[in-house]
Amino acid sequence: MIKLEVENLAKWFGPRKVFENISFALTQGESIAIVGPNGSGKSTLLKLLIGFAFPTRGRVVFSDEGKKLDFDSYRRRLALVSPYPALYGSLTARENLDFFARVNGDLVTNEEIDQVLAQVGLEGRGEDFVAAYSSGMLQRLKYAVALLKDPSILMIDEPTSNLDEAGKKIISDLIESRRTKSLIIIATNEKEEYSLAEKLCRLGG
């Protein structure tokens, strides 16, 4: 069981405070929504949790059965869905999925790729170049990449950005289906997305 402990996390960029006194704990099966207006530091907090930025104070610790995990250990089980393009436009969807799985160390079959494409509502679109995808399709493909990893830690920055009603339904169903298997962290400024998680962490107070 993967556990995440955040203790007294604070981040300052020189003299500018982004946030401080952030503490929470999550285990697999639990979820938290990091909320706050734009610019309150949600993406920065996510970066700190992932390990791409250093805290000014406090700690972020991932552990499994009490044993602390270092970056290369938890990286394999962490999937991130971010609002950036995050996919290779000159490759097809299938090639993208295959590449990300392969470079992560997993050999995936075509069936598995088809399955995950279907889960996000992109069945049959595997052979299209990602450059031709609409922003909604792109968002869903990013979830497909995350799903293929079977992540124990799922981090989502702005879960339903670029999605229409149908897309939003697909994604919230998807998150529901992952609830027991993953530790889910969502960053959002949309009130309707708060309900995707049980706990709440407010920034920009």
Partner 1 sequence: MYYMWWKILIFLAMSGVIILAFATPSPMDPANSLGPADAYRIFYFHVPQSWVASLAFLISMFFSIRFLQTKNMKFDLKAVTANRLGLIFAILAAITGSIFAKTTWGEFWNWSEIREVSIFILLIIYGAYFALRSALPDPDNRATLSAVLSIIFAVSAIFLIFILPRVYPTFSQHPSDSVVDKTGKLTMGPMVSIIFFTSLATFTALFLWIYNLSLKVFKAAEENLLEDI
Partner 2 sequence: MPRSSVGWVAKVIAVTRKDIVSEFRTRYALNAILMFALVTLTVISFAVGALEPSKEIMAALFWIILFFAAMSGLAQVFIKEEESGTAMILKLSSEGTVIFFGKLFFNLILLSILAVLIIPLFIVLLKTSPANWGIFLTGVILGIIGLSGATTIIAAIVSKATVKGALFTVLSFPVLMPLLVAVIEITKVAFLGGGYKEVWPPMQLIITYDVVMITLSLLLFDFVWRQ
Range in contact with partner 1 (rule: CB under 8 A) among 11-19, 103-111, 144-152, 181-189: 11-19
Q: Measured between alpha carbons, how far is residue 162 from residues 28, 94, 178 in Å? A: 28, 21, 21
Can you tell me whether residue 96 is helix, strand or coil? Answer: helix
Cα separation, 198 vs 195, whole angstroms: 7
CB 72 within 8 A of CB 63: no
Range in contact with partner 1 (rule: CB under 8 A) among 8-16, 95-103, 107-115, 190-198: 8-16
Q: Minimum CB separation from partner 2 for residue 63, in Å? A: 19
Report CA dihedral (168, 129, 143, 186) to the nearest 10 degrees.
-80
| Binding region for partner 2 (CB under 8 A) | 50-52, 71-72, 75, 78-80, 82, 84-91, 95, 99-100, 102-108, 112, 145, 149-150
What residues does 59 pair with on adjacent strands? Answer: 7
Cα separation, 11 vs 57, whole angstroms: 7
The 16-55 contact track toward partner 1, x by CB under 8 A, reads -x-----------------------------------xx-
84 lies in the site for partner 1, by CB under 8 A: no
The count of other CB atoms within 10 Å of the CB of residue 103 is: 8
Q: Minimum CB separation from partner 1 for residue 49, in Å? A: 15
Which of partner 1, partner 2, none binds 15 (CB below 5-8 Å, type-dependent)? Answer: partner 1
Position among 13, 89, 132, 177 found at the interface with partner 1 (CB under 8 A): 13
Q: Minimum CB separation from partner 1 for residue 52, in Å? A: 9
- Of 155, 153, 159, 156, give the one whose Cα is nearest residue 182: 153
Contact residues for partner 1, defined by CB under 8 A: 13-15, 17, 53-54
